[in-house]
Amino acid sequence: MEVLILILRSFANVVVVLALAPLFEGLLRKVTARIQSRQGPPLLQPYYDLLKLLGKEDIESGESPWMQRFAVHLALATVLTVACLIPLGAPVPLAGAGDIILLVYLLTLAGICTLLAGLAAGSTFSLIGISREMITMIALEPLFAITLIIGAVNTGTFRLETVLDGSVYAGGGVPWSGLLMLAVMLLSFQAFVQRVPFDIAEAETEIMEGPLIEYSGPKLAVFKYAQMVRLVIYSSLFVALFIPWGSHLVFPIGWLLFWAKVLVLVLLVTLVAATHARYRIDQALRYYGGLVGVSFVALVLAGFGY
């Protein structure tokens, strides 16, 4: 019985994420257009796009097509697995299956799929893209890992349901480490969700979507879907870690409050994306380097109990 409830709650998380992700994407596109004084596509356009792509011809250009297929499906599977390991306005469904270190690595795995896909496609443009994507991953992974580990140090446990509940502020007194990480994550969030000014790996105007350049039809649909889900996942993680207040209210209120917070975060991402120009990879790397330095200071502060 317990297992059945767990499965149902995981399923609910997956369904909610899948249903809402294109909506957030549509919103993002619409708001971006309005900021740039355009009319913009209908709010539901991403749903139509996905459906249309599913029926389009699938052209495989790599020399190892089965690796292309594997990478694409693993990409979506990974982000959806993460959806079962984080709170989406309700308790974590699969808290018993892993802990925060698993979470860090699963998010890395989601990135690996993009890398494999780009590598398997074999275009020079996609390889430039994956080289940039990997550099970004090396720089960003510690930021996220340190945030979670500060939570773990504060609460003395690695459990998902404890750490993903505002644990960064759980140190004694003024939570300096938590506040520092809040600043760091706000400054790097655009990069986590791969939006301008840090969409360097895809850079449509420069290397033509990088890792995705050779993908079309259903594979592109699945990949795009995974990217939309990624936006929701990271926004939810941010809310769970840094804006936990009110998530424990009774079911519809807490749930709605949670998604309202996610919505605000997505709008913030849109605002930044629509008003900035893309950085070069070396500029971005310097920027990330500074943030990594600051987050290590935060970790040491957490070690001393601040």
Partner 1 sequence: MTPAQALLIALVLCLAGAAVTAVVAANRRLAGWLTFLVTTIASMFALFAAARSLIDGGTAPETFLRLPALGFALTLHVDGLTAVFIGLIASIALPATLFSIRYMDLYPDYGVRRYYSWLLVFIAAMYGLVSTTDMMWFFFIFWQLMTLPGFVMIRFEHRNAANRRAALKFLVMMQIACAVTMLGAGLLAAGTPTVGAGLRFDFETVSANLPALLEGHPGRVALAFALFLVGFGIKLGMWPFGQVWLPDAHPAAPSPMSALLSGVMLKTGVYGIMRYFLWLVPAEATGAYPMTTWGALLAGLGTVTLLTGTLQALRQEQTKRLLAFHSIGQVGYILLGIGACLAVLGLNDAALAPVATVAFMGALLHTVHHGTFKSLLFLNSGSMLLAAGTQDLNRLGGLLKWMPVTGITVLVASFSISGVPGFNGFLSKWTIYTGAIQGVPAGWWLPVCGVLAILTSAVTLASFIKFFGAGFLGRASETVTQAAAGRKRLEKDWTLLAPQLLLAATCVVFGLAPAVAFGLATRALNASREGLGETLAAAVRTAEGLPGMQAVLGGGAHLVPLAVLALLALLGLGGAMLARAGGSSRRTDSPWLTGYAQAGEANRFTAHGYYAEFKRWFRWIGGAPRSGGAGSPNLKEPDHP
Give the footprint of partner 1 on residues 90-129 (CB under 8 A): 94, 96-99, 101-102, 104-106, 108-109, 112, 115-116, 119-125, 127-128
129 and 118 Cβ atoms separated by less than 8 Å:
yes
What Cα–Cα distance (Å) separates residue 219 from each residue in 46, 52, 58, 80? 15, 12, 7, 16
Interface residue with partner 1 among 17, 21, 145, 191 (CB under 8 A) is: 145
Task: Kindly state whether residue 12 participates in binding partner 1, applying the rule CB under 8 A.
Answer: no
* Residue 56 interacts with partner 1 (CB under 8 A): yes or no: yes
* 10 makes contact with partner 1 (CB under 8 A): yes
Task: Output the smallest distance, CB 146 to partner 1, in A.
Answer: 6
Query: Could you give phi then psi for residue 160, rounded to 5 degrees?
Result: -60, -45
Task: Tell me whether residue 35 or residue 94 sits nearer to partner 1 (CB atom).
Answer: 94
Which listed residue (77, 263, 268, 294) binds partner 1 by CB under 8 A?
Answer: 77
Question: End-to-end alpha-carbon separation of the chain, Å?
Answer: 42
What the block records as the tokens of 31 is 């708001």
Euclidean distance between CA atoms 8 and 255, whole angstroms: 17
- 40 interacts with partner 1 by CB under 8 A: no
Asked if 74 is part of the footprint of partner 1 (rule: CB under 8 A), the reply reads yes
Binding mask 14-33 for partner 1 (x = CB under 8 A): x-------------------
Contact set for partner 1, span 190-219 (CB under 8 A): 213-214, 217-219
- In angstroms, the CA 295 to CA 117 distance is 31
- Cβ atoms of 86 and 237 within 8 Å: the answer is yes
- If you search the block for the tokens 């860090």, which residue do you land on? 104
* 99, β-bridge pairs: 159
Q: Is 236 in the site for partner 1 (CB under 8 A)?
A: no
9 makes contact with partner 1 (CB under 8 A): no
**Count of residues that interact with partner 1, criterion CB under 8 A:** 86
Please give the Cα distance from 105 to 102 (Å, whole number). 5
Under the binding rule (CB under 8 A), the answer on residue 135 touching partner 1 is yes
Q: Cis (ω within 30 of 0) for the bond into 197?
A: yes
3-class DSSP state for residue 102? helix
Closest separation in Å from C-beta 289 to partner 1: 8
**Could you say whether residue 41 binds partner 1 (CB under 8 A)?**
no
Residue 300 near partner 1 by CB under 8 A: yes
Given a contact cutoff of 8 angstroms between Cβ atoms, the answer to whether 300 and 180 are in contact is: no
d(CA 299, CA 186): 17
Is 149 a residue that touches partner 1 (CB under 8 A)?
yes
CB 212 to partner 1: min, Å: 12
Q: Which residues in the 268-287 window bind partner 1 by CB under 8 A?
A: 281-282, 285
Considering only 38-46, 136-144, 181-189, 248-256, which stretch makes contact with partner 1 by CB under 8 A? 136-144
